A and B are shown apart, each in its own frame.
Chain A
Amino acid sequence: MYPIITRSVPVQLGRRIAKPSLTLTLRTVVANNGSKRWASSVNSLTKTQLPFTYSPNGPKIVKYTKDHEWIAAHEDGIAFIGISKYASDSLGDATYIELPEVDTIIEEGESMGSVESVKSASEIYQPVKGEVVEVNTELENKPQLINQDPMGLGWIAKIKLDSMNDIDSSDKLLSLDQYEESLKHDD
């Protein structure tokens, strides 16, 4: 009898990609043990990458959702969206990133993509309403960027906000402190 039931592995251009570093693999899957270990800075934006450097002085505001997305909004109404370090560590090695389509308007709370890792499809939700102006196509060939630098190189979408007020006035979005606090309650 030959192969029938199957499982997934990361594949890139017909070849298996190298396994990410040991530290990443060790942190996979068990989310609830992990959060205690990490310093509070791990869920902040990478200061050397586009979501931060898009404006010379960095984003005007960075917020989080309880579903582990982050959004970094800049002065000109452009915002970057991705998943938190906590989320990426708990998901494990990413094998495929489903990106939203450019030019589509996505309402707050709608699914805007997903991350597949270890046979798990994990939905990503739009933190506030906006039009997708660009997606991080690097992730198509290098889904592992989501594990290496989820809050920088591994950004998912760049959107044009309807209004900056949506972020300021949202009672669903969390500050970094509030987000980190919510992770403690997850345990």
Chain B
Amino acid sequence: MLKIGLINRISIRRRFTVSYFTTGKTPFNLSNTDGKDDKYKELNSMYVDMFTPEGDESETVSNPNNNKSELEEINEEMNDLCNIGYKKISSQDLQSITKSPGRFILQSLSHNPYYNLSLEDYIFRNTPSCTGSFTNQRLLFYINDNCAVMGKNQTSWKELHLKQLQESGYEILRRLSGGGAVIHDLGNVNYSFLTARDEFKTSYFNELITQWINRMSPMDYPLKLNKRGDITYNDKKCSGSAFKIAKGKAYHHGTMLISAQLDKFHGLLKPDHINGVEWECNSVDSVRSEITNIPFNAPGEFIDLCIKGFREEFALMTGANDSVPVYYCDETSTMNTQIAETMELLSSDQWKYFTGPKFKVKSTETNKTISVEKGIIRQSDFPGIVGKPFKDIFDKNPQELEPASLRRFISLLY
């Protein structure tokens, strides 16, 4: 479902349009507009308005990139709502392109993070690995609705303000790759580059993106790579990365902040230290970085640019005019058993809260500890909680938590 105001730089008019769509009445039903229904007339004339260059909009018009991405984005939004625009591939097509050799680009039009991560995993697992020169590179794009995504080997209670996330309607996911925790929203593009394990280098794809953008769409500050291979804009991080390696293949997936509502991210990821709480665990820690959007008009503009760059970089060898194909998919037209199973796994409490590194957490107020393995409390100085899932204690209504010292401690973990 589309949310109004998803893009920071959307004009008021655009927001207005979107709100019409969500009423379920399509504004294109022209037969209803012959005088009877003035609101449709108004809306349609608004569309004409929108696409007709006016004197006071010369700045926008003079920049074809801006124009294109606005149109692009409207298409994308309409596609979400009306299932028109992009031609989505069928489940059979997905299987066929994934299991066949060769390069392709796939953009998911779904904003469901469970679907998108499962789709990525399906393509990763089923892409043929080959001996000799690897020509099965794949590039995926997806945009997830509000969610927090942490690395496979992280502890959710340590990295995330779970209560705040739940109250704000964010999904919480543990992904299949490594790395730290990130917040996604509709203003953030996820890209995922798959290649052979032996050709895999962590900074490789970010170097390409940086070159493409600096060359084709220069901004006030050039994009740079920091020492860790992360992309920065004006010395702030605009992109995070994680990797997975298996069976002779590897993928690098990353985020690119474009029109993310950064102000809303505050208070969702935990800081390094919270007073009163000490963690003892060897899970992978997140490192906090200052972040920024890059000044693109819309996610679609970034995706288009990467597609162009990728096609130039990985031109097909078969013919001079061939280029790497671009496909579209979503969960209604493009689904299979493996994707469905992975979605089930990723959405399960078992995967989110009963898998992952063991940990011990100490209340510095009382010096009491709770030790947790596979989500179950194995040892504790607090009475009556050993053997129970840590999640149950955490989720409990605070009033029901006894003694008061336990209640105070658990509330520090929210």
Query: What is A's interface to B at a CB cutoff of 8 Å?
Result: 1-14, 29-32, 66-67, 91, 95-96, 98, 111, 114, 116-123, 125, 140-141, 143, 185-187
Contacts of B255-311 to chain A: CB distance below 8 A:
255, 257, 262-263, 265-266, 268-269, 271, 278-292
CB neighbours of B287 from chain A (8 A): 6-9
Shortest distance between the CB of B204 and any CB in chain A (Å)? 10
A32 to B200, CA, bound (A): 9
CB neighbours of A143 from chain B (8 A): 282
Are B246 and A122 within 8 A (Cβ)? Answer: yes
Are B200 and A4 within 8 A (Cβ)? Answer: no
A95 to B324, CA, bound (A): 37
Could you tell me how many residues of chain B have their Cβ less than 8 Å away from some Cβ of chain A? 60
Query: What is B's interface to A at a CB cutoff of 8 Å?
Result: 131-132, 151-153, 159, 176-183, 197-202, 228, 230, 237, 239-248, 250, 255, 257, 262-263, 265-266, 268-269, 271, 278-292, 357-358
Are A114 and B242 within 8 A (Cβ)? Answer: no
Contact of A123 among B228, B246, B268, B288 (CB under 8 A): B246
- The secondary structure that dominates the A interface is mixed
Are A3 and B246 within 8 A (Cβ)? Answer: no
Contact of B131 among A3, A8, A91, A185 (CB under 8 A): A185
Are A4 and B285 within 8 A (Cβ)? Answer: no
Q: Which residue of A lies closest to B246 (CB)?
A: A123
Q: A4-B183, A116-B153, A186-B198 are in contact. Are A96 and B286 (CB under 8 A)?
A: no
Q: A8-B151, A14-B280, A96-B283 are in contact. Are A121 and B244 (CB under 8 A)?
A: yes
Shortest distance between the CB of B117 and any CB in chain A (Å)? 13
Are A119 and B179 within 8 A (Cβ)? Answer: yes
**7 pairs from A and B in contact (CB 8 Å cutoff):** A1-B263, A1-B291, A3-B289, A7-B286, A95-B284, A98-B152, A114-B152
Q: Which residue of A lies closest to B263 (CB)?
A: A1
Are B285 and A9 within 8 A (Cβ)? Answer: yes
Are A140 and B202 within 8 A (Cβ)? Answer: no
Q: A1-B290, A13-B282, A31-B198 are in contact. Are A120 and B244 (CB under 8 A)?
A: yes
Are A96 and B131 within 8 A (Cβ)? Answer: no
Shortest distance between the CB of A81 and any CB in chain B (Å)? 16
Shortest distance between the CB of A114 and any CB in chain B (Å)? 7
Are B198 and A11 within 8 A (Cβ)? Answer: no
Are B285 and A8 within 8 A (Cβ)? Answer: yes
A31 to B202, CA, bound (A): 11
A141 to B250, CA, bound (A): 27
Of B197, B244, B245, B287, most A-chain CB atoms within 10 Å: B245
Q: Closest 5 interchain pairs by CB?
A: A3-B288, A6-B286, A6-B180, A120-B243, A119-B179
Are A119 and B243 within 8 A (Cβ)? Answer: yes
Q: A31-B197, A95-B284 are in contact. Are A67 and B247 (CB under 8 A)?
A: yes
Contact of A96 among B197, B271, B284 (CB under 8 A): B284
CB neighbours of B159 from chain A (8 A): 6
A2 to B230, CA, bound (A): 17
A141 to B283, CA, bound (A): 10
CB neighbours of B132 from chain A (8 A): 185
CB neighbours of A185 from chain B (8 A): 131-132
Are A5 and B182 within 8 A (Cβ)? Answer: yes
Are A116 and B289 within 8 A (Cβ)? Answer: no
CB neighbours of A186 from chain B (8 A): 198
A118 to B228, CA, bound (A): 9
CB neighbours of A121 from chain B (8 A): 151-153, 176-178, 242-245
Are B271 and A7 within 8 A (Cβ)? Answer: no
Contact of A7 among B180, B245, B357 (CB under 8 A): B180
Q: Which residue of B lies closest to A33 (CB)?
A: B201
Q: Which residue of A lies closest to B200 (CB)?
A: A31
